[in-house]
Amino acid sequence: MITRRHLLAGSAATLAAPVILGTTFAQGAAARVTILVDAFGKASTLKRGWGYSALIEYGGRRILFDTGSRGADFAHNANTLGVDLKKLDFVVVSHRHNDHTGGLGHVLRENPNVTVYAPFEIAGFNSPLGPAFDKMTKRDVPSLPVELRYFWGNPAADNRSEAPWAEARFVQITQQTEVLPGFFLISNRSSNPGTIEMNEISLAFKTPKGAILVVGCSHPGIENIVEATTKIDPHIYTVFGGFHLLGTPDAKVTEIVMAFRDKWRVERMAAGHCTGQFAFAEMMRIYGSNFDIAGLGSVIALPV
């Protein structure tokens, strides 16, 4: 167990325990991020997979961020790492892609009443089909015979599709929202080819040394998410998750990593998933000892 005096290799030393989120850290309280799913990391019995999942423990809170791509592998890793899914404050699903939602069914079997925060998606995460659907189905075309009219001209009030997790307690996030004292969900919309209009949510929470930012795939652009986070806390201590720089030209990757350090003054980096191997190498080069290898099974201490 990590105590306030415990320092993981490559992670920052913790500080004396102040009052955080309205409560004082107890001796031995966890302040860490554990990577449950990713495709890289040290040799272990954990199941690697293309996807992302992280358990955040901070201020007495336990938050599951994304659930990887395969339910059985996610369950194996959670069990191997001793993660009790029945004891979660909430779950975050960053976006709709399956490599971030694959283990959600297992989570809900273990903890059916947990709140799941998700981005707003028309006909997704149990949301309605939207006003465009209503307008289309209710349009009156007098020449059309009744058998060609949707629902014979009398659509039901609620025509939402059933999600794979029909009983889940989804709460959809459409704007920056403080879901617990000091814990924020940030909503951004992608304008990039392949994910245009996709909404994605990220998690940011405050620590004495700045905000901790956790992202899924950063489809709306990691720069946009970082910029939005500075409105919560002008200093970002570290960033976890996927930055989606896999197909980005090398020169642009270097420019972005330099901007993390020099423009936004991000103190540490703990990138994973779809950030890209060249980006990892550049972060190691530019950040040096302030780059935390956050692969599968890694446990990264957070400042308290």
State pLDDT tens for residues 12-23: 333 333 323 333
Question: Residue 153: what pLDDT?
Answer: 81
Question: Residue 139: what pLDDT?
Answer: 82
Q: Of 14-28, 156-170, 194-208, which range is least confident?
A: 14-28
Q: Residue 286 — pLDDT band, cuts 50, 70, 90?
A: very high
Q: Is the pLDDT of residue 40 over 90?
A: yes
State pLDDT tens for residues 110-132: 999 999 999 998 777 877 777 77
Round the average pLDDT of the chain to a whole number and report it: 88
Q: Residue 28 — pLDDT band, cuts 50, 70, 90?
A: low
State pLDDT tens for residues 220-257: 999 999 999 999 999 999 999 999 999 899 999 999 99
Phi, psi of 187 (to 5 degrees): -105, 130
Q: Residue 7 — pLDDT band, cuts 50, 70, 90?
A: very low
Residues in the chain: 304
Q: Is the pLDDT of residue 134 over 50?
A: yes
Encoding tokens for residue 272? 């994973």
Nearest to 260 by CA among 277, 281, 241, 235: 235
CB atoms inside a 10 Å sphere around CB 17:
15
> Which of 9-23, 64-78, 155-169 has the highest mean predicted lDDT (pLDDT)?
64-78
Question: Residue 26: what pLDDT?
Answer: 43
How far is it, in rounded angstroms, from Cα 30 to Cα 2? 6
Q: For the residues 94-112, what does the mean pLDDT come to?
A: 96
Q: Is the pLDDT of residue 1 over 80?
A: no
Question: Residue 192: what pLDDT?
Answer: 87
How far is it, in rounded angstroms, from Cα 118 to Cα 101? 10
Q: Is the pLDDT of residue 74 over 50?
A: yes
DSSP β-bridge partners for residue 32: 57, 301
Per-position DSSP letters for 145-202, written without gaps between them: -GGGSGGGG---S--PPPPTTTT-EEEEE-S-EEEETTEEEEEEE--STTSTT-EEEE
Domains of the chain with CATH codes:
22-126+162-301 (3.60.15.10)
How far is it, in rounded angstroms, from Cα 216 to Cα 214? 7
